[in-house]
Chains A and B, each alone.
Chain A
């Protein structure tokens, strides 16, 4: 990606539901610095919720990393969810709606992909999963 990182990244360790709230709060605060309207803050917080929920559910422990980006004057927020859990054996399958019950409703990873502007996922079976999402200011 040709975008530069602005300022320090924020890392939130995720191991319980309370940590999800912390990650949301920090993500919302960071995006708000960048001037995102409050309805967009809700979108970013939701993406954090879904990614962090996945960590708690499938990997037990992991991290949410939050960054502010600048791509030729275009501002954005990047959320990275990293875990060292079991990994996803079949990514294409995991990205299909209906893979899990929440996916069937269009939530979970597929839902997060639709909510955000960019979505990348890397998973090594047995080594963990990294999901990166970005949302750019309109």
Chain B
């Protein structure tokens, strides 16, 4: 018996004795308090029964007659019931808590079992502890094939170092942003998974990782299809621009020559009228050239992004009076889809500025680090409420959705810094290949 138990046993025996010699209700109240105290000290019902047993034996040893012994037993049992009631309350509480836990457990189990995303837990050493049924639907593996095994063989070898790094970060208590990993299916194919992982905490200690993974095959396909569509559109636009500029231009040139020949054979007053017609033809030619450049500046293909943007800025400046500066250089030639996307994005941004910003100046700045090209379009206009405009998706969303879709297709991101009356800054980041030689050479 530990000292606490021994002390309690002594008090219990004393109180029982008092009760038996006629202290009545006060002794019963003390019995209850002893039970309460035992519970508070972490003693169990068995401990209390032990104390009761000893106290009863001791009381019976001093009983002189049968009658006295019988009185002792009856009194002791009453005393015992009283002291048990604290345990009874505690026991009922446990039952209630257990029922509530079971219900909550069932609710979460239901959520996890019917979820369409994979929900998993990992131990600190990367062992898979649990998987929900969505894992089987998505990957074709049976859960029993993987529970208890390391997660690493499921992850694409190229993604493994990052997966391990993220696992460590989460175990340190961090919640990293969404990340993508290639996941092995039973058929041997790899599917793209988008992951969210959080620390699994038990008793204020991180004991593993809780994660949710989504199959983003469809989303990837849709983005790819959109990219194809955009490329197709660009090709078509290029073809039309070419037809307008070169073919229609050549035809017009032939018409000019024809008209000149006719003019030579005509009397001078009629020749003057023909001259007027040639003036009109010049205007048509000018408009055709203009239209073709608006559609697709050949300068983008021939000379690259920066000269094309300078050409664009020059045109917008002349039309609107806006001062536009192009600063910095995008570095060596980028893949055609990236150059086209950036050109279109800046074009859209400049349209926004002229339509909404009431600005007097815009700067387009390029900075390039090894694997990242940043393009910042900043105006000094009235600005806008970013969250309000972004919420207004679709047609009236300032074409920001279009910008974002174009960027998404080339793996870029868009950040907008704007506030009412404080100008607008579009920050565009695009991943690029490591840049060694800096040049704006024509593409081979």
Contacts and interface: CB of A to CB of B under 8 A. Distances in A.
B89 A107 contact: yes
Contact of B32 (A46, A97, A102, A106): A46
Interface stretch (B91-99, B122-130, B154-162, B177-185): B91-99
Interface string B75-97: 00010011001101111111011
Q: Helix, strand, loop or mixed for chain A's interface? A: helix
* Most B-side CB within 10 Å, residue of A25, A107, A112: A107
B82 A106 contact: no
Contacts of A18: 26
Interface in B65-117: 78, 81-82, 85-86, 88-94, 96-97
A21 B32 contact: no
5 contacts: A21-B26, A22-B25, A28-B25, A45-B28, A115-B89
B147 interface: no
Contacts of A111: 86, 89-90, 92-93
A65 to B, nearest CB: 18
A114 B96 CA distance: 9
**Which of B25, B88, B94: most chain A Cβ within 10 A?**
B25
Contact of A106 (B25, B81, B90): B90
Contacts of B138: none
B93 A114 contact: yes
A49 to B, nearest CB: 6
B39 interface: yes
A21 B82 contact: no
Contacts of B88: 115
Interface string A78-109: 00000000000000000001000110011100
Contacts of B25: 21-22, 24-25, 28, 45
Contacts of B90: 105-107, 111
Contacts of A28: 25
A32 interface: no
Interface in A31-81: 38-39, 42-43, 45-46, 49
B92 A107 contact: no
Contact of B92 (A39, A42, A115): A115
Contacts of B321: none
B36 interface: yes
B272 interface: no
Interface of A: 18, 20-22, 24-25, 28, 38-39, 42-43, 45-46, 49, 97, 101-102, 105-107, 110-112, 114-115
Chain B contact-residue range equals: 20 to 34
Interface in B310-366: none
Contact of A43 (B24, B85, B94, B96): B85
Contacts of B26: 18, 21
Nearest to B93: A106
Nearest to A46: B85
Q: Shortest 3 CB-CB distances between A and B: which pairs?
A: A106-B93, A111-B89, A106-B90
Contacts of B22: none
A133 B190 CA distance: 65
Contacts of B89: 46, 105-107, 111-112, 114-115
B331 to A, nearest CB: 63
A73 B187 CA distance: 74
B54 to A, nearest CB: 22
**Residue among B86, B88, B93, B97 with max Cβ neighbours from chain A (10 Å):** B93
Contact of B82 (A22, A45, A102, A105): A45
B29 interface: yes
B85 A106 contact: no
Contacts of B28: 24, 42, 45
A102 B35 CA distance: 12
B97 A97 contact: yes
A106 B36 CA distance: 11
Nearest to B74: A38
Interface string B1-40: 0000000000000000000000011101100100010011
B172 to A, nearest CB: 31
Contact of B81 (A39, A107, A112, A115): A39
Contact of B29 (A24, A39, A97, A110): A24
Nearest to B31: A42
B224 to A, nearest CB: 54
